[in-house]
Amino acid sequence: MFTGEYNHTVDTKGRLIVPSLYREQLGASFVVTKGLDGCLFVYSAEEWNKLEEKLANLPLTNQSARKFSRFLHAGAVFCETDKQGRILLPANLREFSGIVKEAVLIGNGNHVEIWSAENWAKELEIENNADDIAAGLDGLGFGI
């Protein structure tokens, strides 16, 4: 399970350090793709395969299913870290997520999210309403 928050700089070539704890859990090869809320999602090969299986089981006749599958797959790249523990974030993914220089990597259960520092700061402002968000989860059968 991925947890924690790490701040790193993206170099001029678009390389980003992946924290060693995340590298251990992600394995040798993993997937980075467009995520929700303007961030990037990072999945281990095992978790990516599970997600692909779920997507494959959705009906092709459902337009939302097709669009979401395209969204995830079109933006997906397989990554491996270099000797310094860095990955190359392609320009299209950096542009999508607004990552220019500063990035924040956060653990979110079965995946990692990569945010631009600016967008993560905005997200934290929203998270200051955690009580309201938690109350909204009651309708989904989730209580703490």
Whole-prediction pTM: 0.92
Among candidate residues 104, 96, 113, 94, the one with its CA nearest the CA of residue 2 = 113
Q: How far apart are CA 46 and CA 53, in angstroms?
A: 11
Q: What residue type is assigned to position 30 of the chain?
A: F
Tens digit of pLDDT for each residue in 74-114?
A: 999 999 999 999 999 999 999 999 999 999 999 999 999 99
The answer to whether the beta carbons of residues 41 and 33 sit under 8 Å apart is: yes
Alpha-carbon dihedral angle through residues 36, 42, 46, 48, given to the nearest 10 degrees: 40
Q: Whose CA is closest to 99, among 112, 86, 111, 90?
A: 90
pLDDT < 70 positions in the chain: 127-128, 143-144
